[in-house]
Amino acid sequence: MKTNKTKLIAIFAFLVLMLTSCSDDDNPQPTVDNTITGIASKASDLTLLVKALKKADLAATLQGAGPFTVFAPTDQAFINAGLTATVIDNYPTADIPALRQILLNHVVNGSVQSTGLTNNSYIKTLAKGTASTTNTLSMYVNTTSGVRLNGMSSVITTTAGSTFNIIATNGVIHKVDAVITLPTIITHAAANPAFSTLVTVVTSTATNGNGFGDQTAVAAALSNTTTKTVFAPTNAAFTAATTGSGFAVGATPAQVSKVLQYHVTTAGNVLAGSLTNGQVVPTITSPVQNLTIDLTAGAKISDTTPVKANIIVTDVQCSNGVIHAVDKVLQPTL
């Protein structure tokens, strides 16, 4: 009798298990999407980002293996940039490739958490801009006061729920307070404090009191879409050239223009790896004056003087060309 009772209990337990299994098969539990796209889709302040990703056919990409780092503009950031829900929904088909590049300018290969965002550094986004079909754009990171990207967008670290390191299964999200547009040469120069004097000189006008005269033509040359290579002097280089016995002391506005033009080449988007020893590089001076590359002992540039400039930072990729930093203001024939 006891044996039969035990058998009945076992049979009953088996039937319950089978019924439960069938019930589970009939009502499968939904898969939780904790990819970057999945997490963004559940965030109340990233609805416009998700909408834009879908419009640009990038939502599936950010569900992929990655890993990726995404600097995710909030809804308010998109609205401030004029990218409302209505605008995104009605985005012209012809302009979607440009939207895709803007979004990719917020994406970095690899999982870069907050400790990996170091001051005065450049990281590469997945955007290609207009300068090249192969070179991805640089992003400048400044952490002197929070984290600022390309001088135009800050990582949000103080708002509740909007901190660093929102971890996804395929990377990490950092929310930012502005849409980061594709950086031009002027954008990158302005973002890096080491080039503040260069920016002051280039943006000088006849009326702004900077003392360098009207340099709007040079600024326009650095802002247009023609690809170019710029050898950008640091602040210390400008100080040496414009004080004491520096060659540019007392330079007229026309001479300042010629000095600036002497740093801009007509050779296109020339990366450091493409420079060759003895290479002659024409500049946008009129008449044309050339620079010469010297790779015999490090990377240097020869101007009209015996003192060569050292190339100290290379391959800052912009949407309209590339920047290499130099430690000397290059001296043309004035």
Q: What is the largest CA-CA distance in the chain?
A: 115
pLDDT at 66: 84
pLDDT band at 165 (very low <50, low <70, confident <90, very high): confident
> What kind of fold does domain 36-176 have according to CATH?
FAS1 domain (2.30.180)
Contacts of 207 (CB under 8 A, 6+ apart): none
Asked whether the domain spanning 185-326 has the same topology as the one spanning 36-176, the reply is yes
User: Which candidate, 45, 37, 272, places its Cα nearest to that of 163?
Assistant: 45
C-alpha 13: how far from chain center: 61
Could you report the per-residue pLDDT of 309-323, keeping only the tens digit for each?
999 999 999 999 999
Paired with 265 in beta bridges are 283
* Residue 312 identity: I
The domain limits of the chain are 36-176, 185-326
The model carries a pTM of 0.85
Could you report the per-residue pLDDT of 244-300, keeping only the tens digit for each?
999 999 999 999 999 999 999 988 999 999 999 999 999 999 999 999 999 998 999
Domain 185-326 in CATH 3.30.530.20: no
Could you report the per-residue pLDDT of 35-90, keeping only the tens digit for each?
999 999 999 999 999 999 999 999 999 999 989 999 999 999 999 999 999 999 99
Can you spell out the DSSP letters for 47-92? HHHHHHHHHTT-TTGGGSS--EEEEEE-HHHHHHTT--HHHHHT--
